[in-house]
């Protein structure tokens, strides 16, 4: 990565999440980062739902980039009636406000979305322009967020990613690693296919893109839109679990089961692999295979 003396100001929102945590480590190389989270800690506290505080923060900092890694990601919890409004506010209304403020300030907004905006009724990787069809409240609110951000007038880049894991946070990898130590036998769903993506890879790709855009701010306007940004390759949750077990080198019998034997409040797409071609062609970024990233992530954990 080439870093010039002209460092952009970056406002990071949600720096304590899986992706946010990696972003606040990575972005410091290329810019002056104000890293905010709900409770503070790494930097100022900022509640994305506090519209006045968000406006005041953006007007005070006058960032070149606003990066929104905060979201309501509790996919099953979001199905409960009491959570729907919160999910909508965080995943749709708040990103829209960020878009409007970014447009007013001339900042570029980077926002994340999900493979769960698709129905999964296919067997080949989704391109950005393909028809959406969310099956869950989470997917619906994230799709609404995408549309509001795109309509906000901001120069906005939306990165759709999938099956995020990392050493920091609550995710499938960490759950499996714990369960492999506690149990001799596990059942894992084998008929949902996706691309497990290490949060660090998302952060590093984002940083490289911010670095490219800041060299010519006009690029943000030209290149705004939706991009798929996931690890390469595909697997099932069962395949993901087997690879984790192999890398841990532990004994545990994993039984492959169909989705209907593991009912959850939210429906999930059966096939939600995203095609990264647009990302590769636009920014020259080749995302690594999921198996290689997982190995690196687990090695990083033991350091």
Ligand X SMILES: NC(=O)c1ccc[n+]([C@@H]2O[C@H](COP(=O)([O-])OP(=O)(O)OC[C@H]3O[C@@H](n4cnc5c(N)ncnc54)[C@H](OP(=O)(O)O)[C@@H]3O)[C@@H](O)[C@H]2O)c1
Q: Site for ligand X (CB under 6 A): which residue of 24, 97, 105, 114? A: 114
Q: Is 19 in the site for ligand X (CB under 6 A)?
A: yes
Which neighbouring-strand residues pair with 189?
257
To the nearest whole angstrom, how small is the minimum distance from the Cβ of residue 222 to ligand X?
Answer: 24
To the nearest whole angstrom, how small is the minimum distance from the Cβ of residue 90 to ligand X?
Answer: 6
| Spatial contact of 110 and 159, defined as CB atoms under 8 Å apart | yes
Q: Which stretch binds ligand X (CB under 6 A): 46-54, 210-218, 279-287, 290-298?
A: 46-54
Q: Is 18 in the site for ligand X (CB under 6 A)?
A: yes
CA dist., res. 252 & res. 260, Å (int): 23
Q: What are phi and psi of 300, to 5 degrees?
A: -60, -35
Question: Mutual orientation of helices 81-88 and 137-151 as an angle, nearest 10°?
Answer: 20
Q: Which is nearer to ligand X, 73 or 152 (CB)?
A: 73
To the nearest whole angstrom, how small is the minimum distance from the Cβ of residue 3 to ligand X?
Answer: 25
At 154, is the secondary structure helix, strand, or coil? coil
To the nearest whole angstrom, how small is the minimum distance from the Cβ of residue 88 to ligand X?
Answer: 13
Q: Is 126 in the site for ligand X (CB under 6 A)?
A: no
Q: Which is nearer to ligand X, 130 or 216 (CB)?
A: 130
Q: Is 283 in the site for ligand X (CB under 6 A)?
A: no
Closest residue to ligand X: CB criterion: 17
Q: Site for ligand X (CB under 6 A): which residue of 30, 35, 48, 109? A: 48
Q: Is 139 in the site for ligand X (CB under 6 A)?
A: no
Q: Is 161 in the site for ligand X (CB under 6 A)?
A: yes
To the nearest whole angstrom, how small is the minimum distance from the Cβ of residue 164 to ligand X?
Answer: 3
State how far the alpha carbon of 297 is from the alpha carbons of 27, 196, 204, 248, in Å.
19, 12, 13, 12
- Could you write out the three-class secondary structure of 18-67? HHHHHHHHHHHHCCEEEEEECCCCCCCECCCCCHHHHHHHHHHHCCCEEE
Q: What are phi and psi of 272, to 5 degrees?
A: -135, 40
Q: Site for ligand X (CB under 6 A): which residue of 25, 61, 63, 73? A: 73
Question: Binding string to ligand X for residues 199 to 218, with x set by CB under 6 A, is what?
Answer: --------------------
Supply the residues annotated as catalytic. Answer: 138
Distance between first and last Cα of the chain: 24
> What's the CA angle centered on 209, arms 228 and 95, to 5 degrees?
65
CA dist., res. 190 & res. 192, Å (int): 6
Whose tokens are 């790494």? That residue is 42
- Residues at the contact surface with ligand X, assessed by CB under 6 A: 14, 16-20, 37-39, 47-49, 69-71, 73, 90, 112, 114, 142, 161-164, 169
């Amino acid at each position: 990565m080439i870093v010039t003396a002209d460092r952009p100001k970056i406002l990071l929102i949600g720096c304590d999440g899986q992706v946010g945590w990696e972003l606040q480590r990575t972005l410091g190389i290329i810019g002056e980062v104000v890293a905010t989270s709900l409770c503070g800690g790494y930097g100022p506290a900022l509640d994305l739902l506090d519209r006045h505080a968000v406006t005041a923060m953006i007007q005070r900092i006058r960032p070149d980039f606003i990066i929104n890694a905060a979201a309501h990601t509790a996919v099953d919890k979001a199905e409960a009636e009491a959570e729907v409004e919160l999910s909508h506010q965080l995943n749709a209304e708040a990103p829209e406000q960020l878009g409007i403020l970014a447009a007013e300030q001339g900042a570029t907004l980077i926002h994340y979305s999900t493979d769960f905006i698709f129905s999964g009724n296919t067997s080949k990787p989704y391109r950005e322009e393909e028809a959406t069809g969310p099956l869950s409240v989470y997917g619906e609110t994230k799709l609404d967020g995408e549309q509001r951000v795109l309509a906000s007038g901001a120069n906005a880049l939306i990165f759709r990613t999938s099956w995020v894991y990392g050493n920091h946070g609550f995710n499938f990898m960490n759950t499996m690693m714990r369960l492999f130590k506690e149990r001799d036998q596990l059942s894992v769903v084998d008929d949902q296919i996706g691309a497990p993506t290490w949060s660090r890879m998302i952060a590093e790709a984002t940083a490289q893109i911010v670095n490219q855009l800041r060299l010519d701010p006009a690029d943000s306007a030209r290149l705004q839109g939706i991009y798929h940004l996931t690890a390469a390759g595909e697997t099932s949750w069962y395949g993901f679990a087997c690879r984790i077990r192999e890398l841990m080198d532990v004994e545990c019998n994993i039984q492959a089961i169909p989705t209907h034997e593991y009912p959850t409040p939210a429906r999930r797409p059966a096939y939600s692999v995203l095609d990264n071609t647009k990302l590769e062609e636009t920014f020259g970024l080749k995302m690594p295979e999921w198996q290689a990233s997982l190995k690196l992530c687990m090695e990083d954990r033991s350091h």
